[in-house]
Amino acid sequence: MEYRIEHDSMGEVRVPADRCWGAQTERSRQNFPIGVGIETMPREITRAFGLLKLAAARANHALRPEIMTAEKLSVIEKAARETADGTLDAEFPLVVWQTGSGTQSNMNANEVIANRANELAGKKLCHPNDDVNMSQSSNDTFPSALHIAAALSLEERVLPAVTALIAVLRRLESENAGVVKSGRTHLQDAVPIAFSQEISGWRASLERDCELIRLALGPLYELALGGTAVGTGLNAPAGFAERAAQELAALTGKPFVSAENKFHALTSRDELVFAHGALKALAADMMKLANDVRWLASGPRCGLGEISIPANEPGSSIMPGKVNPTQCEQVTMVAVQVMGNDAAVGFAASQGNFELNVFLPVLAYNFLQSARLLSESITAFTERCAVGIRADREKMRRNLHNSLMLVTALNPYIGYENAAKTAKLAFEENISLREACVRLGFLTPERFDEVFHPEQMV
């Protein structure tokens, strides 16, 4: 491999000749051989840095045109756009397990954009610190990149995935209107419920999750950019924070604004904790939904078997013909991972010592993994399971009429205690509620038939 010599404030460093990164990136690459190739800094972060550096360059050009000249801005814009669109992903090798401020990832972006800009200019025009990092610090750029990445992930990936599943559930509600089945509480038979009502519970839970996520987006639109090292804005010109946020809003179409209190914006990560709480709520509801589906589809002969779901792949290496609810299983595993990530996000956010939180990369890694996993998991579940849910209406009818909890309908006519006696006799002697009620002398056969209508109990 061929190398070139780069230098930073600590001296010279050999860097692979075919790479755009510089000395500080290479030092980090050598010093943190932890999770290499597996736990790389999330691409959502590196691409957010591209947007951020582009917005910062435009703001600097407007406020300091004598330093951020039109010539510099032109090539920095092009390099930053390549970073934002993923063209330069291979130039971001650093892992999550690095400095807790994310300084080295900020410098990775500065070096890559500067060197790529110089390549485009055909000369050494831009400096990583003096130009690409102008008016900034790692301490305000990494929190800002994290907010950008989080907001875009929620708005452009998670919400569309959930919305698509909600649409499928609405269709299933409509298709199953009027289908009455046995309800269940504590995994025991309960009074009847319409299958459409059961589905509506799933749908409404997901709609509420979307509301919570949208509520969490507001604080994420507030950016630390402009606070520089400790929140005072040292070395940033007046108006930079506001102008950079405006540029980011224009670039993304999202309502990014400058955070009012930069001291809070640098050290506190409460917005991420709140937003991840909404993701955990979504994970909890998806866990419940997936479990309901696999319980209802259990069987095919010895389970509940009230619905069928698509058969996507063989389910056993030894039992021929076995098919498992694998999409439900992937959903529940993802939910477990998200719940674990929530603990990591909370712990990381609690480590804001004095003027800076120094657990930013691990917070970014866990938050963005949750958003990515949920969006992909929900999409797979929607397309490979939910769309193919079919009610076995005859099985639902048999289970409904075999349920002892239908006796609840008799409470107004024979009282709670007599209804309990009726259910107990029917269970012990394996006879119908009608036969037990008549035998006990609580109602005549004619009166029983007059008042007992399970389908009307919903």
The residue from 186, 258, 317, 370 that is catalytic is 186
Q: What is the pLDDT of residue 6?
A: 94
Q: What is the pLDDT of residue 175?
A: 98
Catalytic residue at 453? no
Helix orientation angle between 103-121 and 138-153, rounded to the nearest 10 degrees: 90
Q: What is the pLDDT of residues 354-378, one digit of tens each?
A: 999 999 999 999 999 999 999 999 9
Cβ neighbours of residue 343 closer than 8 Å, sequence gap 6 or more: none
Phi, psi of 205 (to 5 degrees): -60, -45
The residue from 7, 174, 316, 453 that is catalytic is 316
Catalytic residue at 147? no
Rounded Cα gap, residues 370 and 327, in angstroms: 17
Q: Residue 266 pLDDT more than 90? A: yes
Among 89, 97, 96, 106, CA closest to 143: 106
Rounded Cα gap, residues 251 and 270, in angstroms: 26
Q: What is the pLDDT of residue 149?
A: 98
Rounded Cα gap, residues 92 and 116, in angstroms: 13
Average pLDDT over residues 301-308: 96
Average pLDDT over residues 141-157: 98
Please, which pLDDT band fits residue 436 given cuts at 50, 70 and 90? Answer: very high
Q: Residue 352 pLDDT more than 90? A: no
Q: What is the pLDDT of residue 370?
A: 99
Q: What is the pLDDT of residues 15-57, one digit of tens each?
A: 999 999 999 999 999 999 999 999 999 999 999 999 999 999 9
Average pLDDT over residues 301-307: 96
Whole-number percent of the chain with pLDDT over 70: 100
